């Protein structure tokens, strides 16, 4: 064995190196962050919009854990976004709790709890059953909020929320500069955690569940436990996204629970490419920018365009924009080799 070890480039060597080094940061990974910072300087008047994009990136990232890595298709992810959004909203409006960072933690815990409980029951099912159960859960949460619209503000929501300055120091300006950097920082921290999870042995087990759940059972993997764990984490992150949404908008309504929201984030993720970490970045950014531009032109035209985009994506680019890039990259690599 020692002999073949010393020969560099043997399959054994390369395979081992590949696994040992997979989690290391690559140069290209700095790109989205550099772009995000550049946007801050290039488009200073669009910072409110920028914050919304960052919120959506976080939301899509949380969905990628479930959909892209574990392979679970659900229709009610907005439920966790909504729980997080309302935790912060209700705390600010009813309990006068306006400290933003503790708000994020509270939202994460509340949403994570809902994710844990619902996940424990629902993740025993798949397919249409799971789609309907998760959809019903989101709607039930929405209807519960509507039941006590005196507390929740119903579909009119809770307007005019104000929040204490960040860390007691950074105040909010009219153009949303503070909010943007705040959202970007939180996103970076969350992303760091998600990235660690994805490259961990647990993350590997998730891909195993996605690729062949029968095999996972047969090798002794506690599949249900793994799924509930990732579902809880994803729910907590979606909750943080929701909390940020309320904080940066200073406003929240029950529409955060809409099926529309769940569908939108799924479309963003598919567009960017699932199971690729950065698919959430690409997908959310592209979708939000296109929506901003086209729906101002004509909402009908935008809806048609999104529909067309989905149809074309499924037929010709099922692995999303990043998948297209990968294919181009593979083609170029082939070309170079020959």
Partner 1 sequence: MAALQVEKLNRTFGALPVTRDVDLTLERGARCALIGPNGAGKTTLVNLITGVLKPHSGRVLLNGEDITASSQADRARRGLARTFQINQLFRGLTVLENLCMTVGERDGHCNNLWRSSGSKREVIDEAIGYLDSLRLTDDALKLVRELPYGRQRLVEIAIALAQKPRVLLLDEPAAGVPSSESHLILDVVAALDPDIAVLIIEHDMDVVFRFAKEITVLVQGAVFTQGTPAEIMSNEQVRAVYLGQEGHRGGHHG
Partner 2 sequence: MRRRFHNHGVGLVPQVANIAVSILFDGLAYAMFLFITSVGLSVTMGLMGFVNLAHGAFAMAGGYVVVTLTRTYGVGFVPSLVIAAVVVGAVSVVFERVLYRRLYKSTDLEQVLLTIGLAFMAIATATYLYGPIPKSVPLPEWLQGDVNLGFRYFPSYRAFLIVLGAVLIAVLWYAFERTNIGAKIRAAVDNRRMAESVGINVDRLFTLTFAVGSGLAALGGGLAIQLLGLSPSFAVLYLVLFLIVVAVGGLGSLKGTLLAALVLGIFDTGGKYLLADAGGFFVYVVTVVVLLIKPAGFYGRE
Residues that bind partner 2 (CB under 8 A): 67, 73, 121, 125, 127-129, 131-133, 135-137, 139-140, 143, 146-147, 259, 263, 266-267, 270, 300-301, 303-304, 306-311, 313-315, 318
Stretch that binds partner 1, among 11-19, 53-61, 131-139, 300-308 (CB under 8 A): 11-19
Q: 3-state DSSP call for residue 170?
A: strand
* Shortest reach from residue 303's CB to partner 2, in Å: 4
Q: What is the CA radius of gyration of the chain?
A: 21
Distance (Å, whole) CA 33 – CA 53: 13
22: CB partners within 8 A, 6+ apart = 199
Nearest-approach distance from CB 10 to partner 1, in angstroms? 8
C-beta of 3 vs 128, nearer to partner 2:
128
Question: Residue 22: which of 174, 274, 196 has the closest Cα?
Answer: 196
The answer to whether 12 contacts partner 1 (rule: CB under 8 A) is yes
212: left (phi over 0), alpha (psi -120 to 50) or beta: beta
Judged by beta carbon distances under 5 to 8 A according to partner kind, the member of partner 1, partner 2, none in contact with residue 301 is partner 2
CA dist., res. 318 & res. 320, Å (int) = 6
- Return the number of the residue (202 or 251) whose C-beta is nearest partner 1: 202
Q: Is 208 in the site for partner 1 (CB under 8 A)?
A: yes
For residue 55, give Cα distances in angstroms to 111, 133, 180, 244.
16, 26, 10, 7
Partner interacting with residue 38 (select from partner 1, partner 2, none; CB below 5-8 Å by kind): none
Nearer to partner 1, 157 or 273 (CB): 273
CB nearer partner 2, residue 100 or residue 208: 208
Task: Collapse the DSSP code of 96 into the 3-class scheme (helix H, G, I; strand E, B; otherwise coil) and give the result.
Answer: coil
- The binder of partner 1 chosen from 109, 131, 136, 223 (CB under 8 A): 223
> Using CB distances below 5 to 8 A depending on partner kind, what does residue 221 bind out of partner 1, partner 2, none?
partner 1
CA 192 vs CA 6, 70, 81, 206: distances in Å = 35, 19, 20, 18
Q: Which is nearer to partner 2, 44 or 318 (CB)?
A: 318
Pick one of partner 2, partner 1, none as the site partner of residue 294 (Cβ within 5 to 8 A by kind): none
CB contact set of 96 (below 8 Å; sequence gap of 6+): none
- Round to whole Å and give the CA distance between 83 and 109: 10
**Shortest CB 225 distance to partner 1, Å:** 9
Write the CA distances from 95 to 71, 89, 132, 151, integer angstroms.
39, 9, 34, 11
Among 48, 98, 221, 295, binds partner 1 (CB under 8 A): 221
Q: How far apart are the first and last CA of the chain?
A: 33
Choosing from 162, 169, 220, 333, the residue that interacts with partner 1 (CB under 8 A) is: 220
203 binds partner 1 (CB under 8 A): yes
User: Which one-letter DSSP state was computed for residue 44?
Assistant: G
CB of 70 to partner 2, least distance (A): 13
Window of 132-140, 195-203, 249-257, 262-270 that interacts with partner 1 by CB under 8 A: 195-203
Interface ranges with partner 1 (CB under 8 A): 11-12, 14-16, 18-23, 196-197, 199-205, 207-208, 211-212, 214-223, 226, 229
């Amino acid at each position: 064995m020692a002999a073949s070890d010393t020969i560099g480039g043997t399959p054994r060597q390369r395979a081992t190196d590949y696994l040992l080094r997979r989690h290391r940061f690559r140069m290209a990974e700095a790109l989205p962050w550099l772009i995000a910072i550049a946007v801050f300087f290039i488009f200073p008047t669009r910072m409110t919009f920028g914050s919304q994009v960052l919120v959506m990136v976080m939301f899509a990232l949380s969905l990628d854990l479930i959909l892209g890595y574990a392979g679970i298709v659900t229709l009610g992810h907005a439920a966790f976004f909504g729980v997080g959004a309302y935790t912060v909203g209700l705390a600010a409006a009813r309990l006068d709790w306006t400290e933003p960072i503790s708000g994020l933690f509270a939202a994460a815990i509340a949403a994570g709890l809902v994710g844990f409980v619902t996940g424990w029951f629902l993740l025993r099912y798949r397919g249409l059953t799971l789609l309907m159960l998760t959809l019903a859960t989101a709607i039930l949460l929405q209807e519960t909020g509507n039941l006590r619209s005196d507390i929740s503000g119903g579909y009119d929501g809770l307007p005019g929320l104000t929040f204490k300055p960040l860390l007691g120091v950074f105040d909010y300006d009219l153009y949303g500069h503070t909010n943007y950097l705040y959202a970007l920082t939180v996103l970076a921290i969350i992303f760091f955690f998600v990235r660690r999870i994805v490259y961990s042995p647990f993350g590997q087990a998730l891909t195993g569940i996605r690729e062949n759940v029968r095999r996972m059972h047969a090798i002794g993997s506690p599949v249900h436990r793994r799924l509930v764990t990732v579902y809880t984490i994803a729910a907590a992150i979606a909750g943080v996204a929701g909390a940020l949404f309320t904080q940066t908008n200073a406003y929240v309504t029950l529409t955060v629970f809409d099926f529309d929201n769940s569908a939108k984030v799924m479309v963003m993720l598919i567009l960017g490419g699932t199971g690729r970490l950065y698919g959430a970045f690409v997908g959310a950014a592209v979708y939000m920018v296109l929506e901003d531009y086209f729906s101002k032109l004509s909402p009908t035209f935008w809806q048609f365009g999104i529909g067309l985009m989905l149809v074309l994506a499924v037929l010709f680019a099922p692995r999303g924009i990043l998948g297209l890039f990968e294919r181009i990259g593979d083609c170029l690599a082939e070309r170079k080799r020959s």
